Structure 1
Amino acid sequence: MPDYRVTLEAAWTVKDVATTQDAIGIAVSEAGKRLHPSAKFVDVDVLVMPCPYCGEEINSALVVARTGIVGLLLSMKVFNAEGVDHAERIAKSVIGRAVRDVPLATYSITACETGEETE
């Protein structure tokens, strides 16, 4: 059975922040705390998106009324899944249990090469 790298996007809210950089820092820190120790194998990154005007990549964070929303990517390797759908369900279950009440959506699922080093 193959292994898959499953990446989920999460909409993380942060209260009482002044800048998007503060919101990003707090969101990554809070996500790390909630994922550790039960899901410490999950990688946390900030979602970047292309700017609609210039095409440069920018962080997906917004602050309005001292409340921020940050797009995070939560990525994990799923071993011995029966298929793509099974790998997705496993990742959503593991990550969802650790970060309750955070909206999650599938960002990408890729099959891992058989010779890839395990994490």
Structure 2
Amino acid sequence: MGDYVVVLEAPIIVRDVETSEDAINVAVSKVAKALNKEKLDFVRVEIGYSQCPVCGAHFESAFVIGSVGLVGMYLTIKVYNAQTIEHAERIAKAVIGKALKKVPLKVYEIRELTEEEEGDGLELEE
């Protein structure tokens, strides 16, 4: 049994926004509300970053066309007592996917939990 930190990428679509900052604020609020509704306040929500293909600079993954925005977000969850890395991935997707219905979730990173990172998370009973 292992303990893992799973980071998932999620594209969040928001409507009626004018700027990328508005899109980010609405997306964070939308995701936080959905997670809190399912009592998943231990999931960390962060704005994703993209890299410019020309200059290589990093910028927040928020794009607005018309009044519709697309915001890339990272959702981080700690999974305890998973049998394998794949098991931790399935658990994270199932738990977060329950709150964010119809949002495609993709694994960005999975790593073993270190002693400094232990704390709030999802622990499965055997």
Identify the TM-score tier after normalising by the shorter chain.
over 0.9
Other-structure match for 1:44: 45
Other-structure match for 1:65: 66
Other-structure match for 1:98: 99
Trace 1:3-18 onto structure 2 (pairs within 5 A).
3-18=3-18
Question: What's the TM-score, normalizing by structure 1?
Answer: 0.94
1:106 Cα offset (Å): 0.9
Tell me the SS of whatever aligns to 1:35: helix
Equivalent residue letter for 2:85: V
Q: After superposition, what is the alpha-carbon deviation per residue over 1:34-61, rounded to whole angstroms, capped at 9, x for unaligned? A: 0004211100000012222222210111
1:21 Cα offset (Å): 0.7
> Within 1, Cα distance between the matches of 2:116 and 2:24?
35
Aligned residues: 119
Tell me which stretches of 4 or more aligned residues in structure 1 moved more than 2 Å.
113-117
Aligned-CA RMSD value:
1.2
Tell me the SS of whatever aligns to 1:14: strand
Tell me the SS of whatever aligns to 1:3: strand
> Within 1, Cα distance between the matches of 2:41 and 2:82?
20
Structure 1 115/48 Cα, relative in aligned 2: closer, same or farther at 3 Å?
A: closer
Overall identity of the aligned pairs, in %: 46
| Structure 1, unaligned runs of 5 or more | none
